[in-house]
Structure 1
């Protein structure tokens, strides 16, 4: 009889272990509505780096004059449902390894470690100081800046940076949020700093830890990685014998049948 009890206990523990999930799934657990006040980390501007690509448009009251400072519009044929259409886009400036762009008439312009606003001010100032355009309006946009989101998210992939202050919450939202198997308390951000790869950890369960993190604001080429939790690890066994697999339930049914036969005897 003790043998039967032990078998029942083993079966119970098997089911319990297979069905257990992490309790660390709620974000911002230290926040209390109407009570919590947090000081956010200072927003970090995205600085232009070598190999970044920029769109720079110059406008003024004289379109013929500004055409001298704008790159040509590119047309590209693209296929859509067995037919073809023309796509038009603005050419861009690629920052070289020395941090320069080659701007029409002005020549080499150093833009590395500047924000896009600072680049716009610099080019506007150069155009005015050289008496090339009296009233220029300069618009600078990013063209190839992106971050990568990997691991336990619903839509892993590479996402474009479309604003100056992109937070890790923005990135995770674009990736469809974490799956139920993602570790909320250990999200990693990999960043290249001064030629070295640095790894930062973020705890999404703690708002204080999140909002004061040096990587709350992401930079171009950052990699966000969400680790799988213990439940996902248990479900990823070599032979696939887990709670979601057919083999698991066949094995469990076989065990319970053996126990019933022993009891009947």
Structure 2
């Protein structure tokens, strides 16, 4: 077939357009592959079964602030910070070790110690401020430390931090935990919790760090 000048002039632009389209498609695939590869490469640890069960608030630690109340002698009520040596100084009985004990066990011990000092020896202990806590960062309204003074889930800690920002991705929440000197990373999807769907609660441990990732859309 004889090639006309018009055909010769028309082929190169069409060829360039086809090549450009093909190149664009290849680049898009390359970027998509690289992006997906980066996401899947993140080393997450399988969530242990114990994370789905609540534990008691735990034992008292140095730095915790406790309120000690005496129903039979309210004039003795006191607020004490557990010292670095693990002790508190209480009316009449003096220094008592609090560190390492649960609130219930300390209450029981104190009630026994006050048997010979008070007509009503009942003693009540409550944690005012817990020294241990968890840290919430990323796309939350108020990043920072949250006191872990009760069994708390990752979702509850995020709500304590003001909740998710409008840029947050509730499907991508990471909990970092120190286990025997090594950092373990657990990936959580909290979108079901937000929507009201049934989901397992992830319970936090002292000094966990929660990071809420940003949505890409």
Is residue 138 of structure 1 aligned with residue 124 of structure 2?
A: yes
Equivalent in 167, 180, 196 of residue 169 of structure 2: 180
Residue of structure 2 equivalent to 1:112: 99
C-alpha distance in structure 2 between counterparts of 1:57 and 1:104, whole Å: 11
Residue of structure 1 equivalent to 2:154: 168
C-alpha distance in structure 2 between counterparts of 1:6 and 1:58, whole Å: 85
Equivalent in 74, 78, 82 of residue 95 of structure 1: 82
Note the 1:1-265 alignment, pairs <5 A.
Answer: 1-9=14-22, 40-41=52-53, 43-60=55-72, 65-67=73-75, 69-71=76-78, 92-128=79-115, 130-145=116-131, 146-162=133-149, 164-175=150-161, 176-177=163-164, 179-180=168-169, 183-184=172-173, 187-191=174-178, 197-205=181-189, 216-219=203-206, 222-226=207-211, 228=213
Shift of 1:107: 0.9
**Structure 1, gaps ≥5 residues long:** 25-38, 72-91, 233-243, 245-265
**TM-score if structure 1 supplies the norm length?**
0.53
Q: 1:168 to 1:55 in 2, by over 3 A?
A: same
> Runs in 1 of length 4+ with deviation above 4 angstroms?
9-14, 210-213
Q: 1:200 to 1:150 in 2, by over 3 A?
A: same
Give the RMSD, CA atoms, in angstroms. Answer: 4.2
Contact 2:59/2:100, CA 8 A, preserved across alignment: yes
Shift of 1:125: 2.0
SS state at 1:142 partner: strand
Cα offsets for 1:48-69 (capped at 9, x unmatched): 1112221222222xxxx431x2
Contact 1:190/1:197, CA 8 A, preserved across alignment: no
Q: 1:137 to 1:109 in 2, by over 3 A?
A: closer
Shift of 1:105: 1.4
Q: 1:96 to 1:137 in 2, by over 3 A?
A: closer
**TM-score if structure 2 supplies the norm length?**
0.62
Larger relative contact order (C-alpha < 8 A, sep ≥ 6)? 1
Q: 1:137 to 1:94 in 2, by over 3 A?
A: closer
C-alpha distance in structure 2 between counterparts of 1:56 and 1:8, whole Å: 75
Which has more radius of gyration? 2
